[in-house]
Amino acid sequence: MGARLRITEIFHSLQGESRSVGWPTVFVRLTGCPLRCGYCDTTYAFKGGTTLELDEILQQVAAFGARHVTVTGGEPLAQKDCLVLLSALCDAGYEVSLETSGALDVAGVDPRVIKVMDLKTPSSGELERNLYPNIEHLLGHDQVKFVIGDEQDYAWSREQLQHYRLAERCEVLFSPVADGLAPATLAEWILRDRLPVRFQIQLHKILWGNEAGR
């Protein structure tokens, strides 16, 4: 049998995060996640969804006519056929990114894919799930993201940045927890410590709030 994946939604929006923020993007949201981060805003993707064949997914993506595609979740890599989907999207000529928690092995991800990988901070409640060997598989076009909820998170993130020399591997993103840490506070910490990171906030939440499918 061909690849089949459980899909929560496929939709067209502006990319709200990462280096490609602002670009019209097709999002393929896979169902299921083994983590339960305290700040998660996509709990609706934990269960349910619809099983689709790979060709059906590719057809739906193509209908939007966008250049950029993001595979997200949930945790996309929790479905084994996610790797097949990623390669198929690359073969079709899209610029493909993968949003992943960093808790599952990324070694098998097609090297053409831009990995946007979290390292879970203490306030997420999932610190022990970080799979640090994943760092060795990061390429220059990839990105590591820290979602920061308080000063302890910031100090921990700064330590990981330095310990693993992350900024020498790829781009590093620091983002405040939405409706949690004040964005200006995080920005001031970054400037104070002269960190080589990109500050980001979630564009889609500024535009549409927490509306699903955005």
- Tell me: pLDDT of 1 over 70: no
What confidence score (pLDDT) does residue 189 get? 98
Of the listed ranges 12-16, 72-76, 179-183, 203-207, the least confidently predicted one is 203-207
CA-wise closest residue to 168 among 132, 144, 134, 192 = 144
Of the listed ranges 25-29, 168-172, 207-211, the least confidently predicted one is 207-211
What confidence score (pLDDT) does residue 162 get? 97
Phi, psi of 68 (to 5 degrees): -100, 140
What confidence score (pLDDT) does residue 203 get? 83
Q: What is the pLDDT of residues 102-146, one digit of tens each?
A: 999 999 999 999 999 999 999 999 999 999 999 999 999 999 999
Write the CA distances from 189 to 29, 167, 176, 203, integer angstroms: 33, 17, 11, 21
Domain 4-208 -> CATH class: alpha beta
**Pairwise CA distance, residues 44 & 60, whole Å:** 21
Q: What is the pLDDT of residues 151-164, one digit of tens each?
A: 999 999 999 999 99
- Tell me: pLDDT of 99 over 70: yes
Q: pTM of the entire structure?
A: 0.93
- Tell me: pLDDT of 3 over 70: yes
- Tell me: pLDDT of 176 over 90: yes
Of the listed ranges 17-31, 87-101, 200-214, the least confidently predicted one is 200-214
Number of H helices, E strands in the chain: 6, 9
Please state the domain extents for the chain.
4-208
Mention every residue, 6+ apart, whose C-beta is less than 8 A from residue 77: 83, 98, 100, 104, 105, 106, 109
Mean pLDDT on 187-209: 89
